[in-house]
Amino acid sequence: MGEILQVTLFTLGVALLGTLLILPPGVALAWVLARRQWPGKAVVETFVALPLVIPPVATGLVLLKLFGRQGVLGRLFENVFGLEIVFTWRAVVLATGVMAFPLLVRTARVAFEEVPERLEGVARTLGAGPGRVFFTISLPLARRGLIAGGVLAFARALGEFGATVMVAGMIPGKTVTLALGIYHDVLLGHDDAAFGLLAISVTLAFAAVALSEWLLRRPAP
Amino acid sequence: MTLGLHGLRLRAGEFTLEFSAELHARVTGLFGASGSGKTTLVEIIAGLRRPESGRVCLDATVLADVATGKFLPPEQRRIGYVPQDGALFPHLDVEGNLLFAERRAPTGAAVFSRDRVCAVLGIGDLRSRRVTELSGGERQRVALARALVSAPRLLLLDEPLAGLDAARKEAILPYLRRIRDEFVLPMVYVSHVAQEMIALCDDMAVLSAGRLLQLGSVEEVFRQPATPEVARIVGVETVQPARMVEMRDGLATVAIGAVRLSALAAGLPTDTTTVFVSIRAEDVILLKGDGAVQTSARNQLAGTVRAVVPMGPTLRIELDCGFPLVAVLTRQSAEELGLAVGGRLAALVKAPNVHLIPRG
């Protein structure tokens, strides 16, 4: 039982952390994609969408090569911050974050595109600089879409499997999430344990939907 | 105030805006059909669009100069902008919208205090309302108030009355005049409605397909359109300042010099002293000779033909009836009347066709 609780809390923790980490860059990128034109924009768009299109395991492989001991980013993290990434819980956060990123950016971008540009323009004429306009007009008006994007990203992060298993391995008590746990238990023939984790996954899904409904129904601040 | 727009050029959709003019009036109207470039021009003045070439100056301040690369962002221009639907922030209530503007207004602009602006525009009771609960007319007044509270040096109004019914338009026009007079604020007023130009503007600029066709006083543009194209766009109208002589039984008598005209007094404030008389050229009927005839038309004016200008299948007739009066006739009618420059005619105008526009 303690093991199930640990896996559940660990999954929630990494999914939450992964979502929170991608929120600022994801929202910023979504705004830039919605409002700015520049040469090479299509390349950026394709890159962002890549984890949605290629197999998660392939994304995991790329991450493994980038963040491994010999990888460019892996060496950077090790030397600068003294942090080991691959096959630790950090790799789980990394994988869930990367896989959830495109869903967040796409939803947030649509949310920003639905904010009338004229409102932002008028706000500028009333004396607010671009930063102020973003925080006092664009962000509050795109709020519903941003929440939806965040919840979607969180849900994706909860169920992440393919990239995680590549870059974090399946180390019980260290990198095993609900998704990995189900697979692990079935491999070992522990179907009962797998069904327990499945029940928890379903419960979490319902909770996430309820949470998003609640967030969306709250009046604007 | 001098708003200098020098050599502006911007490709916008199907047309290229090319505009050069200096605007000096208290209220300058930008007049033209939709798609003529009015909104594009206003957005360039506000700083929401960058011209491809040209220079924009407000008095001594250079707002944008493509040649030197100078571009003052909209938040530093202090130019109020009220677009067609008001563009109120839907996530804030009325007070929140006003506060948004006030927080960023330069300090010491007491003339534009929230309380005073709300009093002038009559929106004191609306301040705690959500903007989604406002009527069209209320929304426009709140949008005007919000622009004023930001203490602008110039106010840009882009068709602020479009989308309102006739009664609401009538109700808002006096507020626009109050803004002009009480805040001593220069305005650029965009519209495609001739009545609004006459009611509010001193000067007007006529635009078509991104080009400036004529700039002059409202009276001048309506009386002497520079080209047949301008005449077609502004609609051929006689516009004359006049003095109110009396109002009785719903009928008003006004005087243009020595000539007296009857008109309907409906909708006019009882204390009206000066008005603009507007008569559409299509509403003027011409009769041979100048002998009096029995007719139901209240106004019979003897006149001399000053000019005959061909305009497609019709002729534009400029008469001198003690004041310049414009009529439009088909070529056939003109032939049957034996119409020629210097000839004498009688002009008939029914009282309901003499439109009086208060000149506040």
Tell me the pLDDT tens digit for each residue of A72-115.
Answer: 898 889 888 888 898 999 999 999 999 999 999 999 999 999 99
Q: Is A137 on the interface with B (CB under 8 A)?
A: yes
Looking up residue A122, the CATH number of its domain turns out to be 1.10.3720.10
For the residues A39-44, what does the mean pLDDT come to? 92
Centroid of chain to Cα A201: 17
Q: Is A111 on the interface with B (CB under 8 A)?
A: no
The closest CB to that of A122, out of B78, B83, B103, belongs to B83
CA–CA min distance B74, chain A (Å): 5
Q: Which residues, 6+ apart, have CB-to-CB distance to A146 below 8 Å?
A: A27, A107, A108, A111, A139
Q: Tell me how far apart the alpha carbons of residues B243 and B253 are, in angstroms, rounded to a whole number.
A: 9
CA-nearest residue of chain B to A116? B87
Q: What is the model's pLDDT at position B310?
A: 81
Give residue-wise pLDDT tens across range B244-274: 999 988 899 999 999 999 998 877 888 888 8
Q: What is the model's pLDDT at position B131?
A: 92
> pTM here?
0.81
C-alpha dihedral sign at B65, B66, B67, B72: positive
Mean pLDDT per block of 10 residues along chain B (360 residues) reads 93 88 94 90 95 94 95 95 93 94 77 86 91 90 94 93 81 86 90 87 94 92 81 81 89 92 84 86 83 78 88 84 90 85 90 82
Q: Which of A122, A138, A139 best probes binding to B when mutated, by most B CB atoms within 10 angstroms?
A: A122
Instruction: Indicate yes or no: CB of A126 within 8 angstroms of CB of B47.
Output: no
Q: What is the model's pLDDT at position A210?
A: 86
For the residues A118-137, what does the mean pLDDT come to? 95
Instruction: Indicate yes or no: CB of B46 within 8 angstroms of CB of A125.
Output: yes
| Nearest alpha-carbon partner for B145 in B160, B133, B159, B132 | B160
The phi and psi torsions of B100 (rounded to 5 degrees) equal -55, -45
Contact B93, B130 (CB under 8 A): yes
- Has residue A220 got a pLDDT over 80? no
Q: Is residue A172 very low, low, confident or very high in pLDDT (cuts 50, 70, 90)?
A: confident
CA–CA min distance B193, chain A (Å): 23
Q: What is the model's pLDDT at position B108?
A: 64
Q: Is the pLDDT higher at B116 or at A26?
A: A26
| Nearest alpha-carbon partner for B155 in B86, B81, B237 | B81
- Look at chain A and report how many structural domains it folds into: 1
Domain that holds residue A122: 2-217
